[in-house]
Each structure stands twice: as C-alpha cells, then as structure tokens.
Amino acid sequence: MTIKDIAKLSGYAVGTVSRVLNNQPNVSETARKKILEVANQYNFVRNTNAQQLKQNGRYIAILVKGVSNILLNSVLEIIQKHIGETIYTSSVFVLDEYDNEAKTALKIYYEKKPAGIIFLGGNPQRYESDFNKMKVPCVLITNQAANVSNTNLSSVSTDDVKAAEQITDYLIKNGHTKIGVIGGNIDNSEISEHRFEGFMNSIKKNSLHFDFNTQYQTTKYSFDGGALAIKQLISKFEGITAVFSMSDVQAIGAIRMLNDMGISVPKDISITGFDGLPFTQYIYPRLTTIKQFEMQLAKCGLAALLEAINNEDEKSAHLLIPYELLEGESVLKIN
C-alpha cells in the first residue's frame, strides 16, 4: 500500500492524495472524502522513511541519559505522547551514564536531520566542540543550561537553587544546625552546583557555619553512593544531626547504611532527599524531599523546543519549574 495505490483506487493523482494526507488546502471536499475513505478502508499508513527523506525536519530525536532514572522515564512518557499529537514524529535513544550525549546527538543529527533534539538528563553542552556543530534547536530537560553561549540550547528544569534552599530552611527550622551534605561533584555537575548554592544560601541566611571539607561528601548519584558517603560523613563530621542529600537515591542508600550501623533515622539523624520519586513515599521512614513535577517539565520542555523550531529568530529560553516540599518522616524536630 503506497499513495500510488491509494491514488489509483480513489481515481485521483498522487499529488492530491499527498495533499489530503497532509491536511493541505486546495483540495475539494469530494476528493478529500473519497481519498480518506479509500485510505481508511485499506488501513493505509504513510512510509515515514520516504516522508522524512523529502521533508527533512518533521522529526524530533529524544536522548535519555540514564534509563534507570525514574523521573526521566515519566517525563519521557509524557513527551512522547504529546509529540504524537503534533506533525512531528520522534524516536528515543537510550544512553547510559558513561555515554557522551553530545557525540551521540551529533551522529543522530547527521543521520536523521532532526528538526530538534530533546535531552532528558545529561549535560550535552559540556562537550562544546561536538555540541556546537549542531545547528538545530535543542532543549535540555531536568538539567539547567543557563550561562551557555550556544543559543540553540534551551532548558527546562526545576528551580534547584530555590528548592535546595527551602528544604535546608526546613531542616534548620526543625532545630538542625550541624548539617552534612551528600552530593555530586560541584565542579562538574551543574545540578550539584545549583543544589549546593541553594543549600549555602540557607546556611548563610541563618548565619550558620559550614566547613566544606568536613561537612560535604562528594559521591555518585546512586544508592551505593549514598551509603558510602554517609559513612565517611559520620566519621569526619562530629555532632552531625542532619543530612541534606542531593537525590532520593543517595538518601535511601544513606538511610540503609545508617540502619546497618545501628543508627536510626530520624531519631539519631535526620535526612532529606531530592526528586520526590514515588517509592520514597512508601518506605519507612517516608522521605522528606523535593518533589519535581514531571508533567510540567515535559510539557514546557516540548513547548520550548517547538517554539524554537518555529521561530528561527527566537533566542533560547531557560525556564524554571515549580516544585513542592514533601514533608515525610525522615526529619526529626530537635530542641
């Protein structure tokens, strides 16, 4: 079944069929009806390869960095659904933590000539030389990409700075002053940098003291990372009563490790997370954390990309999405 067949069957020419299928004007109602009828009858579906070959630019590539990231997966699902309602087609490429997202994107860029690229997670702009070769609108979702010279790149992310500040405020309000931090490397992870910035804003605002060497533990964003980090933090930070952890998974890993060491959460140590993953609200103790809104991240991200695709002269945008502080059971009020 090709449009040629449909043309023959309907008695019209391929041009007319194509016009109907693309909802273009300049087609009589009669023709439209007849052609649609035949197409439906034979369950006709356009060959996207041929279509894409002609009109380079009805295609959006989605790169997901870290499939095991539950947050990204919800966002992905929403985005795919919405793209389906536009004139664009899309497909998704899955990368693991160690892949170079810019390199992969570049390959796809040459291969498929997409109209736009969506990065879920990752930091493509870090690999400047590859990234800048792409002359296509890109949007980075969940990670922030401000301060980037490349005007192709928009970003939509949670306001990490504000959120981190608020949850730290919450710890302090509950009487904690000796707060340790579990996070990523603030020198090469934008996310960690922003969350640390927010944390420090709160610390300063409340005139507390913070010694990076003894109170901050750099580690991976994983259960094990959290487990390892808390062990070191406890041994080097005397009197610690609370931990600000930069992700839910690290917090969960830390809590488990504390349990294994005979230290109870929140009785002995309070802990907060970041992300608001569903499962954190089903464990004991329910985690006090920052909930990110997947729906908004997804919708705004896609909207920003489409905007950039359609308005050539549009500058890149950098949006911040609201968040919510989930009060769980992992923080104890002291004093």
Partner DNA sequence: CTGTTAGCGCTTTCAA
Partner DNA sequence: TTGAAAGCGCTAACAG
Residue ranges that bind DNA, judged by CB under 7 A:
2-4, 11-19, 21-22, 24-28, 30-31, 46-47, 50-51, 53-55
Cβ atoms < 10 Å from Cβ of 92 = 15
For 161-188, b/e burial (b = at least 16 CB within 10 A) is bbbbbbbbbbbbebebbebbbbbbebee
Tell me the closest approach of the beta carbon of residue 85 to DNA, in angstroms. 17
Tell me the closest approach of the beta carbon of residue 30 to DNA, in angstroms. 6
Backbone angles phi, psi at 107, to 5 degrees: -60, -50
Distance separating the N- and C-terminal Cα atoms of the chain: 75
Residue number, 44 or 323, with CB nearest to its own copies: 44
Token pair for 103 = 């390199």
The CA distance from 320 to 323, in Å, is 9
Residue number, 50 or 334, with CB nearest to DNA: 50
Residue number, 133 or 173, with CB nearest to its own copies: 133
The CA distance from 165 to 59, in Å, is 39
Residue number, 76 or 161, with CB nearest to its own copies: 76
The listed partner (DNA, its own copies, none) that binds 12, CB under 5 to 8 Å by sort, is: DNA
Tell me the closest approach of the beta carbon of residue 201 to its own copies, in angstroms. 30
Could you tell me the sign of the dihedral formed by the alpha carbons of 162, 167, 168, 174, in that order? positive
The listed partner (its own copies, DNA, none) that binds 26, CB under 5 to 8 Å by sort, is: DNA
Token pair for 52 = 């894409």
Token pair for 43 = 């369950």
Alpha helices in 55-127 (DSSP H): 70-83, 101-112
Residue listed under structure tokens 């917090």 = 251
The listed partner (DNA, its own copies, none) that binds 256, CB under 5 to 8 Å by sort, is: its own copies
The listed partner (its own copies, DNA, none) that binds 223, CB under 5 to 8 Å by sort, is: its own copies
The CA distance from 134 to 109, in Å, is 7
The dihedral formed by the CA atoms of 94, 98, 102 and 108, expressed in degrees to the nearest 10: -30
Contact by Cβ (8 Å): 257, 222: no
Residue number, 89 or 201, with CB nearest to DNA: 89
Tell me the closest approach of the beta carbon of residue 262 to its own copies, in angstroms. 12
The CA distance from 67 to 226, in Å, is 19
H or E element, residue 180: strand 179-183
Could you tell me the sign of the dihedral formed by the alpha carbons of 329, 163, 195, 168, in that order? negative
With 0-12 / 13-18 / 19 or more C-beta atoms within 10 angstroms meaning exposed / middle / buried, residue 24 is exposed
Residue number, 53 or 334, with CB nearest to DNA: 53
Tell me the closest approach of the beta carbon of residue 153 to DNA, in angstroms. 25
Residue number, 74 or 157, with CB nearest to its own copies: 74
Tell me the closest approach of the beta carbon of residue 28 to DNA, in angstroms. 3
The listed partner (DNA, its own copies, none) that binds 81, CB under 5 to 8 Å by sort, is: its own copies
The listed partner (DNA, its own copies, none) that binds 235, CB under 5 to 8 Å by sort, is: none
The listed partner (DNA, its own copies, none) that binds 315, CB under 5 to 8 Å by sort, is: none
Interacting residues with its own copies (CB under 8 A): 1, 43-50, 52-53, 67-68, 70, 73-74, 76-77, 80-81, 91-94, 96, 107, 110-113, 223, 227, 249, 252-253, 255-256, 259, 278-279, 282-284
Tell me the closest approach of the beta carbon of residue 32 to DNA, in angstroms. 7
The listed partner (DNA, its own copies, none) that binds 40, CB under 5 to 8 Å by sort, is: none
The CA distance from 35 to 19, in Å, is 10
Residue number, 103 or 113, with CB nearest to DNA: 113
Tell me the closest approach of the beta carbon of residue 222 to its own copies, in angstroms. 9
